[in-house]
Structures are given as C-alpha cells and as structure tokens.
Amino acid sequence: MRALTHRSLANEKNPSGKHEETAETGDNERLEFLGDAVLGLVVAEALFEAHPEWHEGALTRVRAQLVSRQHMAEVATALGLGRYLRLSKGEDRSGLRNKGTVLSNSMEAVMGALFRDGGLEPVREFVCRWVMGEAAEHLAEELRSGAALGNYKSALQEQLQATGAGTPVYRVKSESGPDHRKRFIVEVRLKPAAGEPGTPLARGKGSTKKHAEQDAARMALERLAAKSALLPELDAELEFLPFAAQDEE
C-alpha cells in the first residue's frame, strides 16, 4: 500500500508531518529511493549477462535508457498503475496520477516494495518481463546500427551533416489538450541555408515538446533510411519523402 501512496495523501492525513511511518500513513518516497537503486542493479546485471560483447560505455548507455523516467513511466502506463495510486483529493482532481514523473517514481517505489518483500528474484522477474523485453532489443539494435540510443535528434543531425545536406530545425505545429495531458505535433525541416524555409522531413507527436521533437527525428530517420540511395543528393530529392496522413491527426 505504501508503494502506491503519494506524499500528498500522507500530508493531507497528517498536515503536521509528525506521523509514524506505517503502511497506512507513510508515503512512497523512501521505497522510491530503494527501488531506484535495485532497478539499476538488476538491469545492469541483466545486460551484463546478455551482452558479454559490450564494453562499459555501451552497457551504461543502454541501462540509462531502460531506467530512465520516460521508460519507467511507459512501463507504469502499460500496467495501468496510475489508477491504483493513492493521492490527495486535490492532486487527484489536478490529474497528477497521469503525470510521467509521478508514474515513474511510483514504479520505482513498487520495485523497492518487491525487493523488501521477496529479495532480488521477484524484481528480476518483473524487470525481465516489463522493463527489458522489446525495449532492450530495440536499444540493442540501435547500438548495432550506430544510432544515438534514443536520442534521435542527435542521430538525425549527425546523419544530415555527414552528407552536407543541411541542419534539422524543429517547429511546433499544434498544441492541444489540458495541462496534465498535453499533445504536441512538431515538424522537423531540413534547412540548407539561412533565410530559406527548408524542406519538411517528418512530423512527430508527444506529450511534451521534447518528446514530439524526438518522435519527429525518429520518423525522419526511418524515411531517410528507406530512401538511403538518395542520400548523396538529399537537398534535391527530399520532396520524395512526403508526410504520412496520420501525422496530421
């Protein structure tokens, strides 16, 4: 119960802050601290065993992606963890249970609770199923291909600059939704020279501008890879990379 209890509820029940740490009154911040450490250990161990060919730098980069707040929030969302969080009435009305930071922190607290209740083995089983899985395979493939491990903006910029095609620039095309559930659509363009409008490469979407920019860069990289034969003449051929209709939705 404590792993799912946000500090707002603990403070609401005990505004003085002088309450005993029980399953009923305590919050999940101490378990979050423990879970963060246990999660990092278990993911590092799994990568170490699965990829004996990787050096320290590769192991560190992949682990960072797998234990990141973004990925842990995605895991929490896949599990539907938000609906079980115990929040104060005010924070519940504000939509806090859907915020990425709260979801990722709570997921780490659950990791801490699993460790306290059963040691490392249940944490290993959970991590293998929910934290690693396809995400780890995708990151391994990115590493093999030389991509920037989730940093699609850097990978796109490096690829375009290597061909002398120009510089990617990002523009927010639309913003919708309430504050706690924003939706951004961002367009990435190839800008060969100052003062020119540039050629559109792709559009991406996300709950933040940064996420939408990364998604746009990812889409652009996929389209450039599909048209790799055109890369030597990118600035002349990019009209053959139209937006997909669903990007506008």
Catalytic annotation, residues: 36, 108
The number of beta carbons lying within 10 Å of the beta carbon of residue 18 is: 6
Q: What is the dihedral of CA 42, 44, 47, 53, to 10 degrees?
A: -150
Exposed e or buried b per residue across 98-117, where buried means at least 16 C-beta atoms within 10 angstroms of its C-beta: bbbebbbbbbbbbbbbbbee
CA atoms of 83 and 61, how far apart (whole Å): 32
CA atoms of 212 and 184, how far apart (whole Å): 6
